[in-house]
Amino acid sequence: MSSDSIYLNGLHMLTLTEIPVHTFGAFIIVAKTPKKMSSIRWTMLLLHFVGAFLDVYLSFFASPVLTLPMCSGYPLGISVALGVPTPLVVYLGISFVGVIAVTILGFFEDRYHRLIYGRMSNGERDWKRKLYIASHYVLAFLFIAPAYLTIPDQQIAKYETKQKVPCIASEVLDRPGYFILATETLIACLCLIFMALVVTSQAIFYVASMSRFLFLTVSKTQSSNTLRLQKQFFVALCLQVVIPIFVLFVPVFYIIIVIWFNIHNQGWTNIAVLVMATHGIASTFTMLFVHKPYRDATLTIFCPRSKSCTSDQSQLWKTRGTTVQSQVF
């Protein structure tokens, strides 16, 4: 897997898998979202689109080769043929990760707002919410900028890289497009930690607040059936976010370890990137599985005969009693 050609073929195979999977996921969201979930259709589609876009960017446009433990590497994707500078490819790639984090945060914020305030509109509150989300998207494109203010001279940085990690081949350092963001990872790591803390702290607040409202507060304005459906949707939403993040845990943990202990193993690093590139696919499959309307629609398309059997078995959320026709989410 340390071979560029084998690694690139693996990324291209992922691309060929991602495109139909993500297209099908988008179709299900647009065409099969029931009326009672109509309020989340477009935020769900935005979350799906951002994840799909990063997948394709990583596996097809950039196809990055990371030469850890240094903050360096080179692209193999279509960006090379298009002549896009490697520093810009790296900057956009890191920024898009921030965009995904902000989109997830925005999804939780939207659910929190609808759950606490319902469908009531408030001009000042709506304006503040839009400014809040917009400022976070701006932050997603700027949080890594401090690391770019200290980019070292590339020739000096290559010499230092060779001294610190002698096993990196000289032909790798000399290949066109090779870019070293930093020889010392402190500033880049601080930028990533800062963004992670900003998003994670707020996401925890929204999740905790919604959990308290749904599971510890008895609502006098909602029926027990509506409250139960909201609880089930909340659990499904948390699973939709957590499971793909869990997929990223192992490769991210590996990257942290090799940087911390100054280890260079190109084969395992390429495998880690390949696993990370499956994040969007994992997110799409999770979405199709945990949300019952999407799961039923998928089964109807691919297994029409088995639908009647599976719909009666254990389900993540199953409506008992009177069917709720109005929008409850």
Question: What CATH number does the domain located at 4-305 have?
Answer: 1.20.1070.10
- pLDDT value, residue 316: 42
- Each domain of the chain, given as residue ranges in start order, spans 4-305
For the stretch 13-70, pLDDT in tens is 999 999 999 999 999 999 999 888 888 889 999 999 999 999 999 999 999 999 988 8
Cβ-contact 239, 292 below 8 angstroms: no
Q: Please, what sign has the CA dihedral across residues 281, 133, 63, 258?
A: negative
For the stretch 265-287, pLDDT in tens is 999 999 999 999 998 899 999 99
For the stretch 141-195, pLDDT in tens is 999 999 999 999 999 999 999 998 888 888 899 998 999 999 888 899 899 999 9
Instruction: State which amino acid sits at residue 127.
Output: W
**Structure tokens given for 169:** 């081949």
Average pLDDT rounded to a whole number, residues 57-84: 94
User: Alpha helix (H) ranges present in the chain?
Assistant: 4-32, 41-56, 78-82, 86-117, 123-142, 145-148, 154-164, 170-174, 186-215, 224-260, 266-276, 279-290, 292-302, 307-310
For the stretch 290-326, pLDDT in tens is 999 999 999 999 887 655 544 444 444 443 344 444 4
User: Alpha helix (H) ranges present in 216-327?
Assistant: 224-260, 266-276, 279-290, 292-302, 307-310
